[in-house]
Chain A
Amino acid sequence: MANLEIIDKEKELLSRVASGDKEAFGQLYDFYAPKIFRFIRLKVRSQTLAEDLSSESFLRIWEYIQEQEREIEESFRGLLYRTARNLIVDYYKRKSSQEILIDDDFKEFLEGQFIGDDLRIMEDTEEIHQALIKIKEEYQDVIVWYYIDELSVPEIARIMDKTPGAIRVLIHRALKSLKDHLEDLDKDAFQNQNRV
């Protein structure tokens, strides 16, 4: 679907959702659930947590839309990403005072996703993910939105409440930071190999 078509369709569905049409909400879920799951899964280490937060994001959005008395001007996608992002932040805040004991099952998850693929691709992907989770939260967000979800700069600007110019700078810095972390990981791997 072309971008404009998606926007029009989304607007139509959103107005139906606002009037309580759950089937329209189901259609939005079908389109966005895989994307929101991926966004969350890349930022949290546990599969169960990613699934719970994805589900919670949709429920929160439904409640939010039903509570609004005026027409919602923001895109559904924008609302959804913002909600998911806030939920992740809230989750880690809640847990910050306690010890977080979550199984990091990302590697196993990735193996399941890349069955039958070149091992090299899987290793590259795992390495990128390791570097990604080490960079600043907002850097992670712009990288996922710009390179993986392929959102436009103005759309990211709306979600993050910044100017498009600021987003371009942020993307540039995020990529630089990711590159630095990748180099660090390579250095560590090289040193470990030498030690062995």
Chain B
Amino acid sequence: MDIITRKIKHLQRIQPDTSWLIRQRSFLLSEISRTQQTDKQRKTSLVFPLFDFSKIFRPAFALAFSIIILISSLATVGVISASQNAISGDFLYPVKTAIEKTQLSFTSDSASRTKLSVKFATQRMDEFNQLIERPEKKADIQKTVKKFTQQMVTVRQEINTLKKENAEKAAEVAKLVQAQTSGYEETLIKGDEKLGYILPGEKQELKNDINQALEELSKTKELTDELVKEGSTVPQENKKIDSVPGDIVVPGDNSEQTESSSIQFENLQPTTE
């Protein structure tokens, strides 16, 4: 029986596709939000006649409300800035990720959302670099790699959305993403090698996660390569006519842009040793 039970245990390795898991998570949570909203609307329509909203706008209420907001903001600023250096497993790490989620939820256009997602992916790579120095945090390394994979899926989704809205802008954003991919790849491969040395024989799951991250990265690279190629076939004259203020400046691009409208992707490269 021991042989059979050992063979049964091989089935433990069956895992769903990571990108499916991520897509499914977003789908589930959006479905839940939708049902919650419907319920809330139903409840509000019942409660509204009993509550006098005009009370909120009286001066005394407004002053008290402002003071509360100010005090809580001052206390929060310190926590927020301290959380920026946190890595997975740190006490303040959930604050960091919550801020990222908030930033994303307040950003409506796909170009900005893509830029933010790339920025977060770069942060995950920085965290990954720090974590591989601490092999005892194997679970946190795994979480960080998975989050990076998730960012890659998001980047592709956003670029695809942008492509439908504005193919030219999508090509520009793709160029920026493209500039980051080789850095990510190098970080993941170097990290994988290092972990193989530090955690020999116990990193199969981690290796699978890193492979998955590399796979998603490669899909992102394919998409950006394709978009950049398509973008480069658009006549230069058209580009000038279509470009609008606030467009993105590609590193190395000499076209006229204001500094405030550009994003500094050079600084996003993860620090590899």
A contacts, CB < 8 Å to B: 20, 22, 25-26, 29-30, 33-34, 37-38, 41-42, 51, 54-55, 58-59, 62-63, 110, 113-114, 121, 124-125, 127-129, 143-144, 147-148, 175, 178-179, 182
Contacts and interface: CB of A to CB of B under 8 A. Distances in A.
A124 to B, nearest CB: 5
Interface of B: 1, 4-5, 7-16, 20-21, 24-25, 27-29, 31-33, 35-36
Contacts of A62: 28, 32
Contacts of A110: 14
B28 A29 contact: yes
Contacts of A42: 11, 14
B4 A113 contact: no
B71 to A, nearest CB: 25
Nearest to A110: B14
A79 B32 CA distance: 18
Nearest to A29: B25
A110 B1 CA distance: 23
A22 B29 contact: yes
A33 B13 contact: no
B188 to A, nearest CB: 17
Contacts of B20: 51
B4 A55 contact: no
B10 A124 contact: yes
Q: Is the interface of A mostly helix, strand, loop or mixed?
A: helix
A147 B29 contact: no
B49 to A, nearest CB: 23
A20 B27 CA distance: 17
A137 B110 CA distance: 48
Contacts of A25: 28-29, 32
A38 B10 contact: no
Given A124-B7, A125-B7, A26 B13 contact: no
Contacts of B5: 147, 175
Given A38-B15, A113-B15, A178-B4, A33 B25 contact: yes
B99 to A, nearest CB: 14
Given A20-B36, A34-B16, A128 B25 contact: no
B15 A34 contact: yes
A59 B24 CA distance: 11
Contacts of B36: 20, 22
A175 B11 contact: no
Closest 5 CB pairs of A and B: A37-B16, A125-B10, A147-B8, A38-B14, A22-B32
A25 B24 CA distance: 13
Contact of A55 (B8, B12, B27, B33): B27
A171 to B, nearest CB: 11
B31 A59 contact: yes
Contact of A113 (B9, B14, B28): B14
A127 B15 CA distance: 18
